[in-house]
Structure 1
């Protein structure tokens, strides 16, 4: 069963209607179903009216109790996965204004406590210098003054002691020359500085040794409730616990490849000095 990306996150009403119809076909009331699946009747009601999106585990349990035919199980499970996944189109976001995305991210950061960022390609906005932020937005047409200001405003969240941040950057992310050599050196200095904040862990993965697991995408996990995965044309937002757990497991793998603390800062310092040396020789 295939779906257009634009349908992601939009099938909750379809899923609600199907689950309600299957319950009625089984001859069960909402109260009876709730008792059999060990959920509250209120939750069942909210699922069937589309007010709550059930996880895949919830849906599989309901389908099992309702003795749903296998051909319908595949269809309903697919609906559940789509309902728990959102597609954010990059072109649509740019049309609305890149500053609007920054407002959305700031809201997500206000309402989360634990953050895990895996950065295999470039440095994220929370860690970026103004020069780096400007360069990251330069390929896109338009005036980015508001977006740059919003990105810089968001960095204040790093100093909220109630929140915990873990950043993992690959050597490629640290060394990709998005700005000139002196500006790259300053950017790496900022990474080292941020790594000293008491609520921030910052690891770097050097291109050395044996690493049998290869990264595919930039991803961020907010608490254990939501994961975002960035691709060139947009971002996928996952809310199902099993999807989120897979990203948490992958993150832990990359933590094991990373240098931390003084070792990470020593590596960042060496890379910064390399850029400064190139700058002096020009």
Structure 2
């Protein structure tokens, strides 16, 4: 995934792609096993069920073994044929959760970048506690318009989608109004590397660093910076977001992974706590930011000449 399209933040490292995809396969397998249970409870063979629905026998096998994702109509027909209509809503909910668990960027942004920002704004409105760790990028909710423009430009180049960069930047900046809502809390943890990567011109990065200092003073925003000298307990392999206690979002180059299994929520919650525990806050965090500013200022002066 590319940073311009990030939901609350923006991470590209695909280090946890295998975990996310495995979770998708497990969810599909679980759905298939539940379908098999309903068929067996109805004392029907796979062939009998297929014949009752005018399906090829192979379709029943593929659905039960997780080799094919069912449609809404497939689930409704299955529960009707097995006399288990009462299970339809639960099965449909499982299917729809599976569909968003691995959302490919090419599909999400095919109409441009702005619509996805609007979708994420709806998710922001529902969330009360945002916990985000970023090792590479400044989180989207903290970005200046200029920094956001640089990220979106990269996304447009890679995915070759419609260039609605002005509208996308405006939508992202509008999303940031959520930072000023007193009923919401934010805990951001960034690595010093995220402050130093040259992902935009130096003068833009200087403005971005100044923005970080300003937003860190908000009463509902907690900003931690992990300096280069810090000894890590858990390696900063990739960025991720915890939204309330309901969802973990991990972004790869190709897709957004939405993880919701209790063990996944617990795992990422523990990792976030470990990273947050070694971060610097308040004056110590600002010292790290100012150190980066001092190092970057000469390059910004040269670029402005």
TM range (shorter): 0.7 to 0.9
Q: Distance in 2 between matches of 1:194 and 1:166?
A: 12
Q: Distance in 2 between matches of 1:190 and 1:21?
A: 58
Q: Which piece of structure 1 moves more, 9-18 or 205-214?
A: 9-18
Q: Which piece of structure 1 moves more, 265-274 or 12-21?
A: 12-21
Kindly report the root-mean-square deviation, in angstroms, between the aligned alpha carbons of the 2 structures: 2.9
**Offset from partner CA, 1:61-102 (integer Å, 9 cap, x none):** xxxxxxxxxxxxxxxxxx9xx949711112222313211211
Q: In the alignment, does 2:173 pair up with 1:152? A: yes
User: If the length of structure 2 is used for normalisation, what is the TM-score?
Assistant: 0.69
Q: 1:148 to 1:9 in 2, by over 3 A?
A: farther
Aligned residues: 235
Secondary structure of 2:231's partner? coil
Partner of 2:264: 243
Alignment equivalent of 2:275, drawn from 254, 257, 276: 254
Partner of 1:93: 108
Partner of 1:194: 215
**Any conservation in 1 of the 2:226–2:280 contact (CA below 8 Å)?**
yes
**Any conservation in 2 of the 1:99–1:147 contact (CA below 8 Å)?**
yes
In structure 1, list runs of 5 or more residues that go unmatched: 26-43, 54-78
Alignment equivalent of 2:91, drawn from 44, 50, 57: 50
Q: Distance in 1 between matches of 2:234 and 2:93?
A: 36
**Any conservation in 2 of the 1:9–1:87 contact (CA below 8 Å)?**
no
Q: Distance in 1 between matches of 2:99 and 2:40?
A: 20
Q: 1:13 to 1:183 in 2, by over 3 A?
A: same
Q: Distance in 2 between matches of 1:223 and 1:100?
A: 23
Alignment equivalent of 2:285, drawn from 250, 257, 264: 264
Q: 1:45 to 1:207 in 2, by over 3 A?
A: farther
Q: Distance in 2 between matches of 1:8 and 1:272?
A: 46
Q: Which has the higher contact order (CA 8 A, sep 6+)?
A: 2
User: If the length of structure 1 is used for normalisation, what is the TM-score?
Assistant: 0.74
**Any conservation in 2 of the 1:217–1:231 contact (CA below 8 Å)?**
no
Partner of 1:69: none
Secondary structure of 1:210's partner? coil
